[in-house]
């Protein structure tokens, strides 16, 4: 069943919770310059070769036990940058997904054919007003703003288009908190991603990353109780 993407966006902005997860969620950033998921066995959605422009509905089939993922929403495939609208993530030379396309806000819903507990994406020019949320049977079980992801990983959510601290692979392992959909949404230009990955690794097999020397990279497990959206001026 297709879910209304705008309803999901509204839910993200009002979410608050009071129930801790059975197993804490782990968020970790990959090494600078890496476009590979922290869980090596995860299938990767590569947008290279798709026709630039509105993505519409697109299904990627891993042809393995992790099944397929279908993307629907406002997203578009791009391979260049447009000032003030979208920017090619640093280190990406091919196609990528911009969530809001030519409007200042939007959402892309990823629906999985089988439940997963790992999600990764190469996140370009991380902004405070970008959001990632995880759903199970229509209920949001976890949600993060760009600001929160940055705080958990030692990155920055200032929209920087070239710095490694704002362009990085982000791995999120939800352990026994399985999800069947992920929403990527934004309240402003833009939200750009590439090399989306998903899988269901063993409950004790969280993705690992080697910290950059001296970077203060944080690997935190925590119980999420909610988030607040913060809008900041995007750098150009």
What are the structural domains, with CATH classification, of the chain? 5-222 (2.60.120)
Contacts of 44 (CB under 8 A, 6+ apart): 36, 37, 195, 196, 197
- The per-residue pLDDT for 24 is 83
| Token code pair at residue 167 | 């362009």
Interatomic CA distance for residues 157 and 154, integer angstroms:
10
Cis peptide before 29 (omega within 30 of 0): no
The pLDDT mean for the chain works out to: 81
Question: CA geometry: angle at 20 spanning 15 and 21, to 5°?
Answer: 100
Residue 1 has pLDDT above 60, yes or no: no
pTM above 0.75, yes or no: yes
What average pLDDT score do residues 19-39 get? 84
Q: What is the pLDDT of residues 172-204, one digit of tens each?
A: 999 999 999 999 999 999 899 999 999 999 886
* Cα first-last separation, the chain: 38
pLDDT band at 212 (very low <50, low <70, confident <90, very high): very low
What average pLDDT score do residues 23-37 get? 93
């Amino acid at each position: 069943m297709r879910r209304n993407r705008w309803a999901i966006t509204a839910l993200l902005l009002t979410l608050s919770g009071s129930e801790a997860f059975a197993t804490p969620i782990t968020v970790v950033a990959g090494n600078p310059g890496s476009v590979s998921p922290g869980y090596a066995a995860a299938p990767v959605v590569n947008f290279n070769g798709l026709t630039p422009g509105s993505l519409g509905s697109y299904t990627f089939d891993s042809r393995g036990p992790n099944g397929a993922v279908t993307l629907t929403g406002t997203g578009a495939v791009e391979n260049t940058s447009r000032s003030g609208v979208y920017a090619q993530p640093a280190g990406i030379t091919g196609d990528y997904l911009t969530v809001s396309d030519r409007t200042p806000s939007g959402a892309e819903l990823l629906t999985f054919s089988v439940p997963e507990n790992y999600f990764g994406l190469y996140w370009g020019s991380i902004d405070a007003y970008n959001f990632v949320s995880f759903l199970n049977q229509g209920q949001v079980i976890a949600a993060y703003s760009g600001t929160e992801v940055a705080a958990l990983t030692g990155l920055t959510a200032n929209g920087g288009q070239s710095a490694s601290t704002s362009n990085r692979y982000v791995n999120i392992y939800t352990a026994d908190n399985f999800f069947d959909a992920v929403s990527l949404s934004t309240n402003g230009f833009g939200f750009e991603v590439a090399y989306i990955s998903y899988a269901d690794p063993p409950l004790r097999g969280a993705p690992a990353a080697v910290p950059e020397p001296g970077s203060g990279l944080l690997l935190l497990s925590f119980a999420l109780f909610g988030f607040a959206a913060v809008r900041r001026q995007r750098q150009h």
